[in-house]
Amino acid sequence: MSNGTVDGAPPEAASASKGARRPGARRRRPGELLGYVFIAPAVLYLAVFLLVPLVQGIAMSFTDTRLINPAGGEPVGFDNYAQALGADRFWNSLLATLLYTAATVAGTLALGTAAAVLVNRAFRGRALVRGLLTFPYAMPTVAVALVFAWMYNQSNGVFNRGLGVLGVGETGWLTDPNWGMASVVAATVWKVFPFVMLVVLAALQSVSAELYEAARIDGADALSTFRSVVVPHLAPTLRIVALLMTIWSIRRFEIIFLLTGGGPVEKTNTLVINVYRTAFSDQDLGLAAAIGALGLIVSLAVTCVFLLVERRESQREEAS
C-alpha cells in the first residue's frame, strides 16, 4: 500500500531530493494514473448513456419538439414548463408519485425487515424459506404485473373470489379510484421487498453474537434487544436502502403501466407514466422533457434530503 511518499522517504526528504520541481507542483503518485484508467470505462459509460441524454433532454425541454420530427424542434423558452406547471395533470402526477413512493418505501422496508429478522433466526427449513422469500425479486416484472392483473380481475380474480366466499362484494382493485393506488403498491411491495430482506439480513448477520449475549446477561427481553441492539446496528443500512428504494420508486414504470396505465382516473399516473404518455401518446417530446426535468428536480431534492439526514446521523453516531 502506498504510504504517500516516494520510495518510502518522508515527504520533506522526497521533496528535497527533487529540488528541480516547481514549488507547489504535486508529484503524481505511482498507480494514480492507473486509477484513472480503471474508472475511465465507468465515466465514459455514464457520460454517453446518462450525461449526454440528460443534457439533450433538458435542452429539448426548451423546444417544441414532436416525436415524429425529433430534429425539428424550435426554441420556445419556458413555455413547456409553464404549460406543465399550469396543468392539473402535473400536480396530480406529482402527488401520485409521492404517494406511491412513500407507500412503497414504507411497505418494502417494513416487510423486508420483518422477513429478514424472521429468516435470521435458526429453524428447520430456513434455507427453503429464504429461497421462497427471494423468489419474487427473481421474477420478471412483466410476469408479476400480468399475474397480479389476473388476481385483481374484478369478476374472476382470486381476491374477489376469496371475498365472495366471505360474503363481501366485489372490489374493483384496478378500476376503482379508491383502490387503484393501493393495488399497485401492494404488487410492487411483493415484487421488491426481497431486496430489502437480503440487505437487512446481511446487516443482521454482521451483528456480533457477543452483543446479544451482553443484552441477555443484562436481562433484556427480545423486544428490548431488538430496539437497543439490532435497530442501531441496522439504522445506517436502512437509511441507504430507503434512499435506493425511494429513487427506484420515483422512476418505476413497467409494473404501474402494465397494471393500470396510469388509471383509474389518473390515480396512478406518476410522473414517469405522465412523461411516457406525453411523449408517445401525445407525441409532445418537448413537454415530456420538461415534465421529466421537473421530475428530476423532485428526485434530486428527495436524494439531497436523504443525504443530509444520513450525514447528520453519521455525525451524531460518531460523536456519541
Partner 1 sequence: MISCSARRASLAVMAAGALALTACSGGGDDGDGTGSITFGNWQWLETGRGEAMWDAATAFEDAEPDIRLEKSETPFAQYADKLNTELGAGAGPDVFVVLDRQFATLAEAGLLEPLDDAVADADLNATNDNLNIDGEQLAVTWEQVSYALLGNANVLEEAGIEQMPTTVEELIAAGEQAEAAGFDGFAVRHQMNEYNGWAYDFPSWTYGYGGSWSDGENLTVDSAENIAGVSAYKEVFDAGIVPVGDDASTFRSKFKENQLAMIIDNSGTALSLTSDSQLTGQDLVSAPLPFPDPGAHQKLVLAVNANSDNKEAAKQFVSWAVSEEGQATLRPSLGASVLATDVPIDAEFAAANPWAETFVELGATNRSGLPAGFETEADPIMRAVLEQVERVITEDLDPAEAMRNAQAALEAD
Q: What's the chain's length in residues? A: 320
Angle at 155 between CA 153 and CA 159, to 5 degrees: 55
68 binds partner 1 (CB under 8 A): yes
- Cα–Cα distance, 241 to 108 (Å, whole number): 10
Angle, in degrees to the nearest 10, between helices 231-250 and 180-205: 140
Q: 93: how many CB neighbours lie within 10 A of its CB?
A: 27
The residue (of 69 and 315) whose beta carbon lies closer to partner 1 is 69
Report the candidate in 235, 211, 201, 237 with the shortest Cα–Cα distance to residue 117. Answer: 201
Each residue 174-203 as x (binds partner 1 by CB under 8 A) or -, in order, gives xxxx--------------------------
**Pick 8 or 72: Cβ nearer partner 1:** 72
Instruction: Please identify which residue in 2, 56, 69, 206 interacts with partner 1, judged by CB under 8 A.
Output: 69
| Residue from 221, 254, 282, 317 in contact with partner 1 (CB under 8 A) | 282
> In the beta sheet, which residues pair with residue 69?
66
Tell the smallest beta-carbon distance from residue 178 to partner 1 (Å). 9
Restricting to residues 225-264, which ones interact with partner 1 according to CB under 8 A?
A: 257-264
Q: Which three cell numbers stand for residue 194?
A: 426481497
Note the Cα 72 to chain centre separation in Å: 35
Site for partner 1 in 290-319 (CB under 8 A): none
Which residue number, 230 or 287, has a Cβ lying nearer to partner 1?
287
* Residue 162 found at the interface with partner 1 (CB under 8 A): no
Give the nearer residue to partner 1 in terms of CB position, either 107 or 262.
262
For residue 63, the cross-strand partners are: 75
Count, residues near partner 1 per rule CB under 8 A:
33
- The answer to whether residue 57 forms part of the interface with partner 1 (CB under 8 A) is no
Contact 191, 136 (CB under 8 A): yes
| 179 versus 212: smaller Cβ distance to partner 1 | 179
CA 110 from chain center: how many Å? 15
Q: Check binding of 66 to partner 1 (CB under 8 A).
A: yes
Q: What is the amino acid identity at position 122?
A: A
Candidates 154, 225, 299, 303; binder of partner 1 (CB under 8 A) is 154
Report yes or no: 254 and 145 within 8 Å, Cβ to Cβ: yes
- Does residue 81 touch partner 1 according to CB under 8 A? no
Residues at the interface with partner 1 (CB under 8 A): 66-70, 83, 152-157, 172-177, 257-266, 277, 280-283
